[in-house]
Structures are given as structure tokens and as C-alpha cells.
Amino acid sequence: MKRVITGNQAVAYGVILSRVDVISAYPITPQTTIVEELSELIASGRLKTKFLKVESEHSAMAALIGASTGGVRTFTATSSHGLAYMHEMLHWASGARLPIVLVNVNRALGAPWNIWGDQSDSLSQRDTGWIQLYCENNQEVLDTIVQAYLIAETVRLPVMVVLDAFVLSHTAEAVEIPSIEEVDSILPPFCPDYPIDTQEPRAYSVITTPDYFLEFRYKVQKAMEQVPEVAKKVDDEFKARFGRGYGAIERYGKEGAKVLLMTSGTVTSTSRTVIKKLVEKGLSVAGIKIKRFRPFPSEEICEAIQGAKKIAVIDRNLSAGVGGIFAQELRASLYSREERPPVFGFVSGLGGRDITPELIEEAIQYTMEHPQPEGDIVWLGLKR
């Protein structure tokens, strides 16, 4: 069934279709309507999911850590300050190897106050041991939630699904909504390894001395290293069932292009129109969409950029003192390669300012005209 729904409604559908057992969340703009939608369904009895009301995001994640340890499928959603407030619990969820799925609607962090789209919230959680998947449209949002449970429950790591504030969360477009039976056919019930069982009492996450802590983290890393293969298998099976697949990255535009543009989230969607127009004009340009940020798809990117002379990256985020975070990760991925095209790190659209086709074209133009960028950051659309 195809319906015109917002990105936040697509999240709610993804959660319903994944037969989530326990939800705990605290409202924050622009995530609020996800929780409104789900809690209304639960209150009216149409959705048999347990909703745990909490006084903060920190408690929401703590509640899910308990529920997931108990052996049930769990979900939460947040944004910005809410995600930051969860921070220590995010580490705990991955360390305890709990397959929790969290939706983060990207929003800037204050000060100054801002409720609009900016990836600094999710990217500042990049070292918490969570898999991170970014979405480009509402269909991808729904599909990614189902895929997230499949990946999380296979590798035993939590997954953060990320969508842009307003541009997806509050924007309605047509989305194909699969039936719950169709989703059941690829998403089996969650089978925990060590559920809480009073007949077989266990202790969980007890104090672990330096003798063993390193090995616990080694196993988290090994689980992360399984993700590319597992995620590919999940995506292939999803595509075989529903006809839609996404990959860790996607290359589009001209074959063998000299200049590449790397983007994530909805900026990719707008970039597709720009790249199409420039290729039709005869320019040697192509785009690379990054869907999976953690683990970073270095292998896939290095394969996709072969032959490129320059790479432009547009970051809607800033690690002050360094620059855009996607550009930084790309530079790190390229270092051990023989082929190292210069990376042009554009920073734009912070706090929800539009990244227009004109700005994207300006970034590509700049990259074509300059042999090297004039610094680690090239500001795009900055008022001076």
C-alpha cells in the first residue's frame, strides 16, 4: 500500500512492522511526532507494544537497556540535546551488546537555540560503538528501520537510524508500506543469547578488571567488522523481497568521473539533480552517497573513487578545530592508499540553512577550478 506520509510517520510504520516489544522515549522537536504517533496507537489498544514513560532521554535508554537485556525488541527516538543526554547510556548499550534501534532526527545543539537540521548530534556519538545509517528519503527511512533490526540482532550491536530534521521528518511524500506479513517473512522474532531467566540466574555487565576489559572491546570491534558483510546480506535479501536496496554507499553520475561529490542525508537527493544537470552539460562529475557512517565504509569508498582526481565533500556538521566530519573520515580512509586525490571539505547548511542546488554547484565548480583546497575547510554560503 502506498501512502503520502512524513518521515516521522515512516519511522512509526517501520517500528510497527518490526513488531517492537518495548518503546521508551522522551519528546523533543523534531522527533516528537514519532512518539506521538506510536503512543496514540498504543493508548488506543491498536498496537500491543509496551510504552515506558520516562522523565528524560537518559532514562529512556537506561529502560531499553533493561528491556533488551530481558530479551525483547526495543526502540527509542530522539534528537539533538536528547541524544547528547543519552551519551553514557549509548556506550553501555553497545558494550552490553544490546541490539537496540534508535532513530535520531538530526538537529543542531545549542547554544544558540536552534531546532533545525544539522548532523553534529549523531556524529558527536560516533565513538559510542553504535552502527549509524543515514537516510535520503521517507521510503529509505521505513526500509532502514526493518534492516536495522536485522543487522543489530545478527551482530549484537545497537543501530542508530538518522534522518534530517523537517526536510524528512515533517515532509510528506508517497511511501510504499509493506504488509506486516511481508516484513515477518524476512524479520524473525528476536532470539537473545542470554535472556534474563529466573530458572537460570546470571549476572550481567559485572565489574570487569583490566585482565579482561580489553577483550570485551576487541569483541565489539570484531562485531563492527562483521557489519559490512551482514548489512550487505540483509540489503540483498531486502531487495530480493521488496525491490529496494541501498548499499553502504551509492555511486551515481558519470562513469570514470574526474570529480566526485560525497554527501549524506537529504543533501544527496538534491545533489542528484545537480550532478544530472552537469553531466548533461558534458562535465566529468559523479556523486557518492554515504549511507553507512559506522562502521565507515572505507573499502567500498576506495573502490568507488578509483580514477577520480578530486573529491568534494559537503558536511552539514562541524568538528570545531578540524572541520567537516565526513571529510575527516574520508581523509583517514585514503591515507593508506596509493591513490590519494585531494579532499575538498565543504561545510554548509549548519543549523538547517538550505543547501540549495546553487550552493552544491558552487562546491563542484570550486573543486574543478582549484588544484587543491585553500584550507581544510571551505565554507559554503557563509555570510561574511
Partner 1 sequence: MIEIRFHGRGGQGAVVASKVLAVAFFHEGLYVQSFPAFGVERRGAPVMAFLRLDKEPILLRVNIYKPDHIIVLDPTLIRAVDVTSGLKPNGWILINSGHSPETFNDLKDFRIATVDATSIAIRNGLGSRTNPIVNTAILGAFSKASGLVGIDSIALSIREETPGKKNENAKAAREAYEEVKF
Strands 285-290 and 249-253, how do they pair? antiparallel
Q: What's the closest the beta carbon of residue 14 comes to partner 1, in angstroms?
A: 20
Binding of residue 170 to partner 1 (CB under 8 A) = yes
Which one of residues 84, 172, 196, 230 is an interface residue with partner 1 (CB under 8 A)? Answer: 172
Binding of residue 123 to partner 1 (CB under 8 A) = no
Residue 352: exposure state from Cβ atoms within 10 A (0-12, 13-18, ≥19):
buried
Part of the chain binding partner 1 (CB under 8 A), chosen from 49-57, 98-106, 171-179, 289-297: 171-179
Part of the chain binding partner 1 (CB under 8 A), chosen from 93-101, 158-166, 229-237, 371-379: 158-166
Binding of residue 173 to partner 1 (CB under 8 A) = yes
Q: Which helix (H) or strand (E) holds 44?
A: none
Question: How far, in Å, CA of 368 to CA of 362, rounded?
Answer: 10
Q: Does residue 318 contact residue 347 with C-beta atoms inside 8 Å?
A: yes
Question: 10 Å Cβ neighbour count for 301?
Answer: 22
Q: What's the closest the beta carbon of residue 288 comes to partner 1, in angstroms?
A: 16
Compute CA distances 335 → 56, 225, 228, 257, 384, whole Å: 41, 19, 20, 21, 33
Binding of residue 41 to partner 1 (CB under 8 A) = no
CB nearer to partner 1: pick between 9 and 104: 9
Compute CA distances 156 → 194, 224, 226, 249, whole Å: 12, 9, 10, 22
Binding of residue 82 to partner 1 (CB under 8 A) = no
Which one of residues 11, 135, 155, 165 is an interface residue with partner 1 (CB under 8 A)? Answer: 165
| Cell 552539460, located at residue | 281
Q: Site residues for partner 1, window 336-355 (CB under 8 A)? A: 352, 354-355
Q: Site residues for partner 1, window 180-239 (CB under 8 A)? A: none
Q: Which helix (H) or strand (E) holds 341?
A: none
Binding of residue 115 to partner 1 (CB under 8 A) = yes
Which one of residues 254, 272, 291, 292 is an interface residue with partner 1 (CB under 8 A)? Answer: 272
Residues that bind partner 1 (CB under 8 A): 4, 115-116, 164-168, 170-174, 266-267, 269-270, 272-273, 352, 354-357
